[in-house]
Amino acid sequence: MPASPPAPSSPVLQSIARREELLLAPYAFRSADSRGRKHSEPEHPYRGPFQRDRDRIIHSAAFRRLSGKMQVFTGERGDYHRTRLTHTQEVSSLARTIGRALRLNEDLVEALALLHDIGHPPYGHAGEDALDDALGPDEHFSHNRYALTVVEELEQRYPAFPGLNLSDEVLESQRTRIDKVAPDRHPLLEAQLVDAADSMTYDAHDTDDAIKLELLTLDDLCETALVAEALKHVRRRHVIGDPTLLRVAVVHQLIERQVTDVLNRSAEALARADFANAEEARMGEPLIGPGSELAEQKLELERFLYARVYRHPELIAVRSRAQERLHRMFERYQQQPELFPEKYRRRAEKVGVRQMAVDYLAGMTDRFCDDRYREMFPDE
């Protein structure tokens, strides 16, 4: 990176650069340093590049479909629990809170948070495994890679280019979710933060949803140190008889504990490191994340949730049904490519029928997938 970057060219970038100079820490990524977009476009008169990326993501079809995609639980279980969309909003909210306190680039943080799960197929991780199986041993399906396919190829929002034409830093940060191993260069701090916020969000809300849906009790979860400590903390401050209020108070405390820990620890590490710019902050150790005690407690809770919730017999049944549906649809689409919409049939010429079938199935919401399945196999 040059010692003094060239002055931003357009008035909007100049005004954003002045604002960022006042608000951001030296290690935050500066909008004026963006490498730009694959297809060059004029600057927007009043939005910076990452504000524009955020808006492009929010206005995409794939983002809206997140409301119809399950996080852990399907829609048959009522409407209390998180969908992929509300999970994404919770991640964005936590990440922005911490990002602002650490004086990171909040616009970039928000764009990355809203993008991070856009590639999830229907039926959560069961759907991902089914599509991975369908592709056979030599090819793999990854929701993180599919997110790039969505925003670089499948979304059709602009006449001049395919995809959303997002800034290079947003695409690169999403790419680091696929290939995490980069020995000497880590994701931008803004991307590290979204990863940490994702983890604290699902640890808290899966605990909440699992108790609310009666897959286990708060007492069961007190086998884990993180939940037991949160309950102790709540009980020291309040006398709560109502189990709903108690559950909610514990979940709030789970979020508070994690956010405070990540914020304090990261702030200390960044102060010690004293980076001069965002590029320097990518070398050395990744700095945004929980301290070792919290990291261990989170791991214990995640193992517990895996064994007792994600592998709960009721969820296993949903999982097998979802996988069987996707498998059968994948076979049928290959035998009868005429069943695909025109846009996808054209895509088959480029990527082949198998890949196209996976791309099409991965974009479906849970309900759309259920409806297509019933149309294809009406006698079941």
Q: Which is nearer to Mg ion, 34 or 71 (CB)?
A: 71
Q: Which of residues 198-217 bind Mg ion (CB under 5 A)?
A: 198
155 in Cβ contact with 61 (< 8 Å) = yes
Residues 225-284 within binding reach of Mg ion (CB under 5 A):
none
In the bound complex, what is the minimum distance in angstroms from residue 25's beta carbon to Mg ion?
Answer: 26
Contacts of 359 (CB under 8 A, 6+ apart): 146, 149, 154, 344, 347, 351
The number of residues that bind Mg ion (CB under 5 A) is 2
The answer to whether 63 and 57 are in contact (CB under 8 A) is: yes
Cβ-based nearer residue to Mg ion, 46 or 306: 306
- Asked if 117 touches Mg ion (CB under 5 A), the answer is yes
Closer Cβ to Mg ion, 155 or 198, answer by number? 198
Among the residue ranges 11-19, 73-81, 114-122, 340-348, the one whose residues contact Mg ion (CB under 5 A): 114-122
Q: How far is the CB of 240 from Mg ion (least distance, A)?
A: 30
Write down the least CB distance from residue 229 to Mg ion, Å. 24
In whole angstroms, how large is the CA radius of gyration of the chain?
22
Token couple for 187: 């994701």
Instruction: Find the shortest distance in angstroms from Cβ 88 to Mg ion.
Output: 7
Least separation, in Å, of the C-beta of 79 and Mg ion? 20
**How far apart are the two ends of the chain, measured CA to CA in Å?**
61
Beta bridge partners of 161: 158
Taking the C-alpha atoms of residue 168 and residue 53, their distance in angstroms, rounded to an integer, is 10
Query: What is the smallest separation between the CB atom of 199 and Mg ion, expressed in angstroms?
Result: 8
Contact 166, 159 (CB under 8 A): no
**Which C-beta is closer to Mg ion: that of 53 or that of 117?**
117
* Residues within window 171-200 making contact with Mg ion, judged by CB under 5 A: 198
C-alpha distances in angstroms, 221 versus 204, 292, 296, 351? 12, 21, 16, 46
Chain residues that interact with Mg ion, rule: CB under 5 A: 117, 198
